[in-house]
Amino acid sequence: MKTAVVTGASSGIGEATARLLAREGWKLLLVARREDRLERLAGEVGGSHLAVDLVDPDAPERVRARVEEDLGGRLDLLVNNAGAGWRARFGDEEGGYANVRRTMDINFDAVVRLTEALLPMLRRSAPSSIVNVSSVAGRVARPRTGAYSASKFALAGWSEALHFEEQEHGVHVGVVYPGFIATEGFPQEDLKRNPMTRRIVGKPEDVARAIVRAAKGRPEVIVPRYYALVPKLRALVPRVYHRIGVG
């Protein structure tokens, strides 16, 4: 039986991914901060759970120990999904360096630290996969999302390098780039209320399917697919992109 660690599993994309993997027969270790939700989900889909804040200094070692204990030290898939974002302009009091730092802590640093702790297991279990959940905001930036975009740009760049580095060890590294997805942390209420924009809002289940595709060998998956037009526009005609204010 294949084994997986899914972070941010208590709701949204992480929960949808856990449910999809469970239906496909994976043995899971579910990781998030909220014990009650993890316990309920683990009871529904099977597997075990660990309530931990991934920014804590001892979090990677705690997850590693549970993989040893609950999954027998075998790890076929690591889904780095946990993340957060706080909208603010950098020049505003609430949007300065402190906001950038806390966003980087969870969206980038925590991913790097956890991956480092689990990489030996992934290599021993090869062929195996790491799927990092970035964002279309990791390709293009918008006002009031500078800290979030910075963390997701960093995650995308680091993941691409890791993809090439780990090929010789049999560890595939894929990145998923969601667009506007309605989750508890990002409800997208403004977009859903507007008849002109509600159709561009995706569901966590869409991203879960993209994560599974990435785990099976795709280096990058943008979801929904048409969101790929935005970074392509920026790359091909950057002057037009900035003039029309897409970013």
What percent of the chain is helix, strand and coil (3-state, nearest 5)?
55, 15, 30
Instruction: Write the DSSP string, 127-171.
Output: SEEEEEE--GGGTS--TT-HHHHHHHHHHHHHHHHHHHHTGGGTE
Question: Rounded distance, CA 5 to CA 164, Å?
Answer: 22
Alpha carbon 193 to its chain's center = 26
CB atoms within 10 A of CB 167: 11
> Which residues lie below 8 Å from residue 199, measured CB to CB, with a gap of 6+?
none
Among this protein's residues, is 148 annotated catalytic? yes
Catalytic-labelled residue, pool 97, 148, 227, 241: 148
Question: Rounded distance, CA 124 to CA 171, Å?
Answer: 9
Question: Rounded distance, CA 181 to CA 135, Å?
Answer: 10
* Residue 31 near residue 6 (C-beta atoms within 8 A): yes
Catalytically active residues are 148
